[in-house]
């Protein structure tokens, strides 16, 4: 069946400026780490992409290694781009990354120019794209000079293979240095992609201040702590959940008694606010104006539809924020 995007797709999605750049990103973006690989069901992830675009999600986040198997999320996304989204490329912001192990030998991971440039070429081929909108260094490399990694990002832009560049999981200090090098090279850092949720708050200890000062956007990944910040694990581990999947990155042992108690209390608060826990968790991440967009995942369209409703109630009373802090101290 031919897919025709919803005419009203820009009516309800707020767009937020990415740092001090010209680029606006939707408040909710979609990540393709899980659920878009060859192990997954095409009709399901195709429906997720349709729903996303219909709801005003213009930003799709990938990486060379997403699958499994690695590379297959880019292949599958590329196939659907060609079949369903032909003519809509200019309404999309597509990102990819390189940093984790992708092929054998010494040039298949980390932060050398050799690896990053080869990986970007492979990603473009898999997706069938001439360029990506954002190319990231996926993780800092302790052994490669930061200058070399940043020069590779700059080169990708100069070669027309990426429009903007970003970094992921760099510390506040590394981010400051990376931003300085990129600025000197003439390719400013657009965005940082860190892990951030109610359960993972390291970026509050300095990184967010650096991003604000440097004019860099922020797109937190795993804002639902891979699904823990929802009501799904309150009655055990569902068979189709990430914690139950052998290739899922969420381990059942993360669901400790304390975690489950926190999730239960947060769920009660969310219900009081008239939203699901997933919606409240996303609104909580978006409460800080330094956050550009939340990068969610979804294993089925209904989840994304639920998550998108966070936009109906983004604000918090002081008391609600205080209660969240209390629960997170449990
Ligand atoms: N830069 C990096 O190093 C890095 C690392 C990780 C992720 N990322 C990016 O961030 C994206 C998001 O990461 P993530 O998938 O971990 O994010 P997440 O949004 O925290 O978790 C997504 C998972 O939560 C569950 N879920 C989603 N919506 C739900 C809802 N409304 N109600 C109940 N459960 C819901 C689903 O799990 P089930 O499968 O259990 O249904 C879904 O697969 C990735 O796709 C990727 O683009 C980047």
Give the long-range contacts of residues 87-93, CB within 8 A, separation 24 or more: 88/5, 88/53, 89/129, 91/53, 91/58, 92/53, 92/58, 92/59, 92/60, 92/133, 93/23, 93/25, 93/58, 93/59, 93/60, 93/133, 93/134
Relative to the CA of 32, which ligand 1 atom is closest? 45
Q: CA distances (Å), 291 to each of 31, 97, 196, 230, 284, in order?
A: 16, 20, 10, 21, 10
Q: Which of 66, 169, 221, 229 to mutate to test the pocket of ligand 1 (most atoms within 8 A of CB)?
A: 221
- Amino acid 247: pLDDT: 85
| pLDDT per residue as tens digits for the range 59-108 | 999 999 999 999 999 999 999 999 999 999 999 999 999 999 999 999 99
pLDDT tens sequence across 102-149: 999 999 999 999 999 999 999 999 999 999 999 999 999 999 999 999
* Any domain includes 241: no
Let me know if residue 330 belongs to a domain. no
Average pLDDT over residues 45-64: 98
301 CB burial (10 A radius; 0-12, 13-18, 19+): middle
Q: Work out how many domains the chain is built from and give that number.
A: 1
Domain with 95, as residue range(s), is 15-227+287-300
Least confident of 126-130, 174-178, 210-214, 237-241: 237-241
- Report the alpha-carbon distance of residue 28 to residue 278 in Å, rounded: 13
Task: Report yes or no: 128 and 119 within 8 Å, Cβ to Cβ.
Answer: no
Evaluate whether residue 206 is within a structural domain.
yes
| Residues contacting 322, CB < 8 A, separation 6+ | none
**Range with the lowest mean pLDDT among 181-190, 232-241, 313-322?**
232-241
- Cα(290)–Cα(219) distance, integer angstroms: 10
Residues 35/68, Cβ–Cβ less than 8 Å: no
Q: Is residue 130 part of a domain?
A: yes
Q: Collapsing DSSP states into helix, strand and coil, what is residue 97?
A: strand
How much distance in Å is there from the Cα of 228 to the middle of ligand 1? 10
The predicted pLDDT at position 248 comes to: 83
The answer, yes or no, to whether any atom of ligand 1 lies below 6 A from the CB of 303, is yes
What was the pLDDT predicted at 136? 99
Tokens in use for 35? 């659920």
CA 142 distance to own-chain centroid? 23
Residue 252 domain flag = no
pLDDT-derived band at 47, boundaries 50, 70, 90: very high
Look at residue 327 and tell me whether its pLDDT is greater than 90.
Answer: yes
Cis peptide before 68 (omega within 30 of 0): yes
Look over the chain and give the mean of its residue pLDDT values, rounded to a whole number. Answer: 97
- CA dihedral sign of residues 265, 271, 272, 273: positive
Give yes or no for residue 296 CB within 6 A of ligand 1: yes
Residue, of 231 and 247, whose pLDDT is higher: 231
Please list, in sequence order, all residues whose beta carbon lies within 8 angstroms of the beta carbon of residue 100, skipping any fewer than 6 positions away.
63, 64, 65, 109, 138, 139
Residues in the chain: 330
Query: Do β-strands 24-26 and 217-218 pair in parallel, antiparallel, or remain unpaired?
Result: unpaired
Rg (CA), the chain: 19
Nearest CA to 147 among 138, 157, 137? 137
Given this model, what pLDDT does residue 210 score? Answer: 98
Which percentage of the chain shows pLDDT scores above 70? 100
Residue nearest to atom 22 of ligand 1 (CA): 297
- Relative to beta strand 24-26, strand 15-17 is antiparallel
Atom of ligand 1 nearest to the CA of 277: 32
Q: Is the CB of 298 under 6 A from ligand 1?
A: yes
Say which CATH number the domain at 219 has.
3.20.20.100
Kindly state if the Cβ of 27 falls inside 6 Å of ligand 1: no
Q: Is the pLDDT of residue 219 over 80?
A: yes
pLDDT of residue 1: 73
- E-strand stretches of the chain: 15-17, 24-26, 28-31, 59-61, 93-98, 132-137, 162-168, 189-193, 217-218, 294-296
In a domain, 80, yes or no: yes
Q: Residue with the nearest Cα to atom 45 of ligand 1?
A: 31
Task: Give CA–CA dist 185/23, Å, rounded.
Answer: 20
Considering the domain boundaries, does residue 323 fall inside one? no
Q: Per-residue pLDDT averaged across 177-199, rounded?
A: 98
Q: Is the CB of 293 under 6 A from ligand 1?
A: no
Q: What per-residue confidence (pLDDT) applies to 93?
A: 99
**208 vs 214: CA distance, rounded Å:** 10
Residue 305 lies in a domain: no
């Amino acid at each position: 069946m031919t897919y025709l995007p919803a005419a009203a797709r820009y009516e309800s999605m707020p767009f937020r400026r990415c740092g001090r750049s010209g680029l606006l990103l939707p408040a909710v973006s979609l990540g393709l780490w899980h659920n878009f690989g060859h192990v997954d069901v095409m009709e399901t992830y195709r429906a997720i992409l349709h729903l996303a675009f219909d709801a005003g999600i213009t930003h799709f986040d990938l990486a060379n290694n997403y699958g499994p198997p690695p590379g297959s999320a880019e292949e599958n996304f590329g196939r659907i781009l060609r079949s369903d989204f032909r003519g809509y490329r200019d309404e999309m912001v597509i990102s990819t990354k390189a940093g984790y192990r992708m092929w054998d030998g010494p040039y298949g991971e980390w932060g050398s120019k050799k690896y990053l440039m080869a990986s970007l070429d492979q990603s473009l081929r898999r997706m069938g794209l001439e360029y990506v909108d954002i190319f990231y260094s996926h993780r800092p490399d302790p052994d490669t000079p930061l200058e070399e990694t940043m020069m590779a990002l700059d080169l990708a832009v100069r070669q027309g293979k990426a429009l903007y560049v970003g970094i992921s999981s760099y510390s506040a200090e590394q981010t400051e240095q990376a931003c300085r090098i990129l600025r000197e090279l003439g390719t400013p850092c657009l965005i940082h992609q860190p892990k951030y949720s109610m359960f993972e708050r390291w970026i509050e200890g300095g990184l967010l201040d650096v991003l604000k000062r440097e004019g860099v956007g922020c797109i937190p990944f795993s804002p639902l702590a891979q699904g823990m910040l929802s009501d799904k694990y309150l009655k055990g581990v569902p068979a189709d959940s990430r914690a139950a999947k052998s290739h899922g990155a969420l381990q059942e042992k993360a669901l400790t008694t304390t975690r489950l108690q926190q999730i239960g209390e947060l769920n009660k608060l969310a219900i009081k606010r008239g939203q699901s826990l997933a919606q409240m968790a996303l609104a909580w991440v978006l409460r800080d104006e330094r956050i550009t967009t939340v990068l969610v995942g979804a294993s089925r369209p209904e989840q994304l539809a639920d998550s998108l409703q966070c936009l109906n109630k983004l604000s918090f009373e002081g008391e609600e924020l205080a209660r969240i802090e209390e629960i997170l101290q449990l």
